[in-house]
């Protein structure tokens, strides 16, 4: 039975913080892999291949094999999960490319605006209400993207595409009647043939860094748990925390990504700082609005119990 959401559950809060910390520090892994000779496509292929085994183990421990079999045997469910796999593949591809080609700052931009984009998608697709706080947050983020466009000299395609694809992924998964673990396992199965074929091609041409030495294979294998573990932590904590609490904690990931980009020496011009200032302001307004909605919901529960 799922625990009742509580913003004061220390284990759930700690798990959520661990999840978003791992996601935020993921650029360091990709930078290390690039330094050891891995190309962005090979990193992506290893993520696709080794994630299947870790996701399968998680599924086994959760006792959800029957659910996975049912998902694979149901064309509608499998079709939606294949589409979500395509979205996450595009997202992974761009993110790995960005973090290995000195564009981590732009990638962090995408994950800052992603929750705001999710909010807009909820209003358009699910008729969810956008309150005054949310409207201001979206407006500030839009200004930040505009300033970032001026700072870069072009539209921040990487950041916007990361935000859009992850938002599309979230919308699709919202419609699919499958648990987080089952959905992830099926998505990994969909991506497995593409990753395996590409790695086989690299090996045949003597270009597979992950198969060139025991050290290379060890680096390659890290991609499996690095991909799956944060998703498992997220699934566990999200079921035990209010969305407002998760919404606040999730800004930890792009903040750490931003720090990784600065640490790696990516250019941080004054105009880019201004653009991120607007983004951070939007994130702050979003968090304040979420906190206010959470307090209002708690007051409503208290009042209903006293009537």
Can you count the helices (H) and strands (E) in the chain? 13, 0
Average pLDDT over residues 87-109: 91
pLDDT score at 90:
93
pLDDT score at 1:
42
Q: Which helix (H) or strand (E) holds 282?
A: helix 270-306
> 3-state DSSP call for residue 255?
helix
27-79 tens-digit pLDDT: 999 999 999 999 999 999 999 999 999 999 989 888 888 999 999 999 999 99
DSSP 207-222: --GGGSSHHHHHHHHT
Category of 56 on φ-ψ map: left (φ > 0), alpha (ψ -120 to 50) or beta:
alpha
Give the CA angle between residues 183, 185, 186 to the nearest 5°: 65
Whose structure tokens read 């910390």?
21
Enumerate the domain spans of the chain: 10-306
150-204 tens-digit pLDDT: 877 778 889 889 988 988 887 888 788 888 788 889 999 999 999 999 999 999 9
Task: Give the Cα separation of 39 and 244 in Å (integer).
Answer: 38
pTM comes to 0.82
Average pLDDT over residues 120-138: 73
Which residues fall within 8 angstroms of residue 223, CB to CB, at 6 or more apart? 29, 33, 43, 46, 47, 50, 51
Q: What end-to-end distance do the CA atoms of the chain give, in Å?
A: 28
Residue 7 pLDDT more than 70? no
Whose structure tokens read 């105009």?
271
Task: Give the Cα separation of 108 and 26 in Å (integer).
Answer: 12
105-125 tens-digit pLDDT: 889 888 887 777 777 777 777
């Amino acid at each position: 039975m799922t625990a009742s959401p509580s913003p004061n559950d220390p284990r759930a809060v700690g798990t959520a913080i661990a999840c978003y910390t791992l996601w935020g520090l993921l650029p360091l892994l990709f930078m290390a892999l690039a330094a050891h000779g891995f190309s962005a496509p090979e990193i992506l292929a290893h993520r696709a291949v080794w994630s299947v085994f870790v996701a399968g183990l998680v599924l086994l421990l959760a006792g959800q094999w029957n659910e996975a079999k049912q998902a694979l045997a149901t064309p509608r469910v499998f079709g939606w999960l294949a589409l979500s796999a395509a979205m996450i593949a595009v997202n992974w591809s761009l993110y790995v490319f960005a973090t290995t080609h000195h564009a981590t700052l732009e990638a962090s931009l995408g994950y800052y605006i992603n929750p705001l984009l999710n909010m807009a998608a909820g209003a358009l697709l699910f008729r969810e209400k956008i309150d005054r706080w949310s409207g201001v947050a979206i407006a500030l983020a839009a200004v930040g993207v505009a300033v970032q466009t001026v700072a870069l000299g072009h539209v921040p395609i990487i950041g916007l595409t990361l935000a859009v694809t992850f938002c599309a992924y979230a919308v699709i998964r919202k419609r699919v009647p499958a648990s987080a673990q089952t959905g992830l396992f099926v998505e990994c199965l969909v991506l497995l043939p593409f990753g395996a074929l590409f790695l086989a091609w690299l090996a045949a041409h003597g270009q597979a860094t992950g198969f060139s030495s025991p050290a290379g294979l060890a680096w390659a294998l890290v991609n499996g748990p690095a991909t799956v573990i944060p998703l498992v932590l997220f699934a566990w904590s999200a079921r035990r925390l209010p969305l407002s609490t998760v919404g606040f904690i999730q800004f930890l990931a792009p903040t750490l990504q931003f720090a990784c980009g600065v640490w790696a020496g990516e250019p941080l011009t004054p105009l880019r700082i201004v653009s991120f200032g607007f983004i951070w302001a939007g994130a702050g307004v979003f968090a304040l609005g979420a906190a206010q909605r959470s307090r209002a919901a708690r007051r409503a529960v208290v009042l209903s119990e006293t009537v």
